[in-house]
Amino acid sequence: MASLARMLLSGAMAVTALALALPLPALSQKPGGTLRIYNSSNPPSASPHEDTTIAVVMPFMAVYNNLVRFDPAKPRNSFDTIIPELAATWEWDATKTRLTFKLRDDVKWHDGKPFTGKDVQCTFYRLNGREPDYLRRNPRGIWYKHLTEVSLDGDYEVAFNLSQPQPSLLACSLRVTPPSIPVTSRDATCGSGRSAPGRSGSSSSKAL
């Protein structure tokens, strides 16, 4: 009887091992479809510059655009996987203290007005503290403490001038927001001066 039990147990183990070794096509991943992600929190604002919690970042990251971004098709983020978004090209000078972006000229805000270098300048003057009273909070402000000036060369070229080399700046969140942000209820003081709320992003930039 014990011998029969051992035989049955050995047979069951062999079948289990064989089943685990066989491919499972029913469980293989397939491209396409819809991924639904639910946000269980109530976002305190729609401004990722002012709030860094997942309640804000998750739903609104897809609304805004960056000058550059990491390639989502790559398994790991690195400087080699940075690709253009609102910027067409970028280049460091020899001292690594001046980062120049040439911007796309085919992007419009939701209200039809063109995206220009003034919008970039406006965004980062708020983040580096030159307009300290605009944002309610600035949790990422330390990322831009070496940014002394954002200079313009026409409508579609901007240069970030730094007080010291900061190669990591390109990998920081170079997200652009409109001159008038509805969560702050303040008047625009730079950029294009539009009063209607705007957003860069696939839902609001006609060219994306």
**Unique residue bearing structure tokens 């804000």:** 56
- Residue 37 in domain: no
Structure tokens at 150: 């954002």
Residue 129 lies in a domain: yes
In a domain, 13, yes or no: no
In the structure encoding, which two tokens stand for residue 135, read together?
Answer: 């944002």
Residue 29: inside a domain: no
The answer to whether position 36 is within a domain reads no
Give 81-86 contacts, CB < 8 A, sequence gap 24+: 82/170, 82/171, 86/115, 86/120, 86/176, 86/200
Query: Rounded to 5 degrees, what are φ and ψ at 55?
Result: -60, -30
Q: How large is the C-alpha radius of gyration of the chain?
A: 25
- Answer yes or no: is 11 within a domain: no
Give 203 or 88, the one with higher predicted confidence. 88
- 127 vs 99: CA distance, rounded Å: 17
pTM of the model: 0.69
Q: What is the pLDDT of residues 154-199, one digit of tens each?
A: 999 999 999 999 988 988 867 777 664 433 333 344 544 332 233 4
Domain count of the chain?
A: 1
Residue 38 covered by a domain: no
Domain holding 111, by residue range, is 67-208
pLDDT of 19: 56
CB 169 within 8 A of CB 99: yes
Give me the CATH number covering residue 134.
3.90.76.10
pLDDT at 135 (0 to 100): 79
Residue 60 counted as domain residue: no
Are the CB atoms for 99 and 140 separated by under 8 Å?
no
